[in-house]
Amino acid sequence: MKKRGFTVIELLVVLIVIAVAVVVLLPTIQPRRGCGGRQMKDATQVRGILQSMVVWAGQNKGKSPLPSELDLMDSTISGVPAPEKDNTGNILSILIYTGGISTDLCINPAESNTGKVQVDGGYTYDSPSGAANPANALWDPGFAGTPEDDPGAHRRAPGLGNQSYAHILPFGNRLSRWSDTYVKTEAAFGDRGPEYSGTTYPPNGKWTLVPGAFGIDSNTLLIHGSRNSWEGNIAYNDAHVNFETKPAPDGFVYQRTTGSSKAATPDNLFVNESDEDGGDADGGIMRGVNAYLRPIAGVKVAGESVKVRVWKD
């Protein structure tokens, strides 16, 4: 019997079917934006920094590093009230100085604000010249947590920050979370985020970015997200890391007060919600326990209160 081959029409039909299948299936098999190597490396770095904090806490009565409690003799930074030492740069510099992490680990591989956030190429591991007493320094105070760190004689490169991340503010009632609590719902460290409108959970459940550089034009949206939404890696106090796709992750709540009633409400990682039960209705940062992750540029003591200046970009 004579073998019959494919006709031109049949071949065209087959090719068309294959082309349609590719168009339909390709979006389902392509990795989504942000799920590539940089996101995975970022997750590894976030986990590495938090684990270094946990190790530190295990050797220091369960507490994560706090410069004001370490530098009691003012050998590293002198002439300021103790809490004013507790900015992001000094916190991470302690971990670097003691070998827990490296300066490279502090820069997100997907960092979008590369003009202002760069690796500290001049970090000094022994007798840093910027310290009040270099021979007895406990960290290199020249390491900057943000581009807007308070100026001083120890500042190595004004206008540049040497790390990419944010963490819970270790002051007031949140200080209890600055430790190895191992609570899986306590956000402790991770990718920084933009600024949102309002300080209470919106009625429609949709947080709105503020206009301008800190909101809709924020550099943080370009790290893993898009021009319209934030995404990022967040490490929790039980040392697990989640890639979150919205600022108020599912199952992550704070206790809200409405009159005499209380309700568990989704907690925005980058907002200090003012309607929290017993929280900071006056805009302060000392009473709240809701998640509030920001890089700290400066701390000022005003009487019995502490004012924190966070960095946003």
pLDDT means per 10 residues in the chain (313 residues)? 53 53 42 68 97 96 96 96 96 98 98 98 96 97 96 85 98 95 96 96 92 97 91 96 95 78 86 94 92 97 89 98
Annotated domain spans of the chain: 37-310
The answer to whether 247 and 269 have CB atoms below 8 angstroms apart is yes
Q: Which of 174, 291, 173, 312 is nearest to 235 (CA)?
A: 291
What's the pLDDT at 33? 46
Q: What are phi and psi of 164, to 5 degrees?
A: -105, -10
78 to 74, 129, 150: CA distances (angstroms): 5, 14, 14
Given a contact cutoff of 8 angstroms between Cβ atoms, the answer to whether 55 and 101 are in contact is no
How far apart, in Å, are the Cα atoms of 226 and each of 32, 69, 220, 222?
12, 40, 9, 5
Fill in the amino acid letter for 195: E
Q: Which residues contact 239 (CB under 8 A, 6 or more apart)?
A: 47, 50, 51, 54, 182
Nearest to 200 by CA among 291, 268, 285: 268
Residue 3 DSSP code: P
Reduced to 3 states (helix: H, G, I; strand: E, B; else coil), residue 258 is strand
- 213 backbone φψ class: left, alpha, beta (φ>0; ψ -120 to 50): alpha
- Report yes or no: 91 and 67 within 8 Å, Cβ to Cβ: yes
Q: With beta carbons less than 8 A apart as the criterion, state whether 74 and 67 touch.
A: no
